Structure 1
Amino acid sequence: MTTQQIPAGYRQDAQGRLVHESMVKPIDQERDRLVGDLVKNAIYLNGLMANFKATAFGDVRAFIEMSFEEYGARVGGKKGNVTLLSFDGRYKLQIAVQDSISFDERLQAARSLIDECLAEWTEGARPEVVTLVNDAFRTDTKGEIRTARVLALRRLEIADERWQRAMKAIGEACQVTSSKEYLRIYERIGDSDQYRPISLDIAVIAMPEATAQQVGGLH
């Protein structure tokens, strides 16, 4: 696609039409300026945050390697969670690794074995197990199995040989499809042992009180 050349004195509207500036209302021009300025600043801030994220992860990895070298060890294998504290304990930095897990066809084999067990237990005194199983295999709004609830079944102590085979099938059906690393930064609350996050998410960053009051007055 080629970018349309806009003649001097004209603006292009959302439908791609050329409109002479004299035909654009002042309020529309001011709205366009406001949105453009804020978006420009947002893009700049986004770039700063992207650079900070890359620098933070790189610096932490470099520090971990330096720490390993002090003991003559080498960093290898899958990266795990790590927590770093400032010397005075006021600040805490965490790198958290979260795996995305899915199940292959062996999950259906596990469900079949579990159903065999439930068919015999339904008339017994284990209604809570039936509820847990049905809830675990119920899909979410996206039609996906809730991984944590399926894996939670493995914590049930049931000696039935079919159940044990089902739990083994669940374990072998687990496949790590991807991993994501998250950077979290915290500040100690006073002299307590509690920490509050220093958020990098614009949606949860608190505005200065005066600004918040001004925005609230627009409602």
Structure 2
Amino acid sequence: MIPGAHAPRCRSATGEVSLDNNRNIMSTQQTSTIPAGYMQDPQGRLIPEAMVEDIDKLRDQTVREIVAELKELQALTQAKKRKTFDAVQAFCEISAEKYEITWGGNKGNVSLRSFDGQYKVERAIQDCIVFDERLQVAKNLISECIDEWIAEGVRPELAAIAQDAFQVDKEGRVSVAKVLSLRRFNFPDPRWQRAMHVIAECIMVTGSRSYIRVYERVGATNKYVPIVLDWSAI
């Protein structure tokens, strides 16, 4: 333990335990295969603890203590998330029962406010959209249009917009929003029209994601600020 610091403690099913116990619980697989008195290095080699520097042991203990606490916090957050979604859905069903209507599943955006308007809870459902291989066909058609337009000296600004729309991220995926934004341009060129038609046809909805956002009103204003759980924003 770091000199001068108190060992943090956490709860388990059997009561309060130290992080040293959590460390053993967290690394059950590791301790079951590593003989007592040894530590395993990144290459999988067993190193006698007597040969490991004290600072390396302290670093290992510090990291494992942090990981153990955050894994516990992660599990708690996951449980709270499920509970929050269930609470919103349960309220929606109760509200619908008043009118003898079945709510009909977990889909649908919902906004709930406290009686005094101080707090707001929103459930948002967002479709997961991807494009199939035909997006390349649309890209080729758009490139033909742009190359010809640039050669003719017309619509040069559209080249940058189209190129940006088809830029890929680190995972090789294009921005769905940017590609779909091209459809707001209604050029009469048949190739452009075909490209927009292809984009519309190659859209695939692979699923949906649900989000819960919680807001608090600022004073007596109508402005709401989110209650965030992002560490970098706290």
Moved more, 24-33 or 141-150: 24-33
Match of 2:207 among 169, 174, 178: 178
Per the TM alignment, residue 30 of structure 1 is displaced from its structure 2 partner at its CA by 4.1
Per the TM alignment, residue 197 of structure 1 is displaced from its structure 2 partner at its CA by 1.8
Equivalence for 1:92? 120
The Cα offsets for residues 158-203 of structure 1, whole Å up to 9 and x where unpaired, read as 2334322321211111112232222221211221222222112233
Partner amino acid, structure 1, of 2:39: Q
Per the TM alignment, residue 136 of structure 1 is displaced from its structure 2 partner at its CA by 1.6
CA distance in 1, matches of 2:143, 2:64: 59
Equivalence for 2:227? 198
Match of 1:81 among 105, 109, 113: 109
Per the TM alignment, residue 16 of structure 1 is displaced from its structure 2 partner at its CA by 4.5
CA distance in 2, matches of 1:114, 1:154: 11
Partner amino acid, structure 1, of 2:159: V
Q: Which has the higher contact order (CA 8 A, sep 6+)?
A: 1
Q: CA RMSD in A?
A: 2.7
Partner amino acid, structure 2, of 1:106: R
Match of 1:108 among 126, 130, 136: 136
Match of 2:39 among 12, 20, 23: 12
Partner amino acid, structure 1, of 2:188: A
Q: Where does the alignment leave 5 or more consecutive residues of structure 1 unmatched? A: 206-219
CA distance in 2, matches of 1:5, 1:43: 22
Q: Please say if 1:148 is aligned against 2:148.
A: no
Q: What is the SS of the residue equivalent to 1:203?
A: helix
Partner amino acid, structure 1, of 2:109: N
Equivalence for 2:85? 57
Per the TM alignment, residue 107 of structure 1 is displaced from its structure 2 partner at its CA by 1.8
Per the TM alignment, residue 60 of structure 1 is displaced from its structure 2 partner at its CA by 0.9
Task: Quote the sequence identity (%).
Answer: 44
From the superposition, tell whether residues 162 and 13 of structure 1 become closer, same or farther in structure 2 (CA, over 3 Å): closer
CA distance in 2, matches of 1:29, 1:5: 16
CA distance in 2, matches of 1:56, 1:84: 12
* Conservation of the 8 A alpha-carbon contact between 1:187 and 1:196: yes
Equivalence for 1:47? 75
Q: Where does the alignment leave 5 or more consecutive residues of structure 2 unmatched? A: 1-28
From the superposition, tell whether residues 133 and 94 of structure 1 become closer, same or farther in structure 2 (CA, over 3 Å): same
> TM-score scaled by structure 1?
0.78
The Cα offsets for residues 72-99 of structure 1, whole Å up to 9 and x where unpaired, read as 3223367132221111111111222233
Equivalence for 1:209? none
CA distance in 2, matches of 1:107, 1:31: 50
Equivalence for 2:64? 36
Moved more, 76-85 or 165-174: 76-85
Aligned length in residues: 202
Q: What is the SS of the residue equivalent to 2:64?
A: helix
* Conservation of the 8 A alpha-carbon contact between 1:6 and 1:18: no
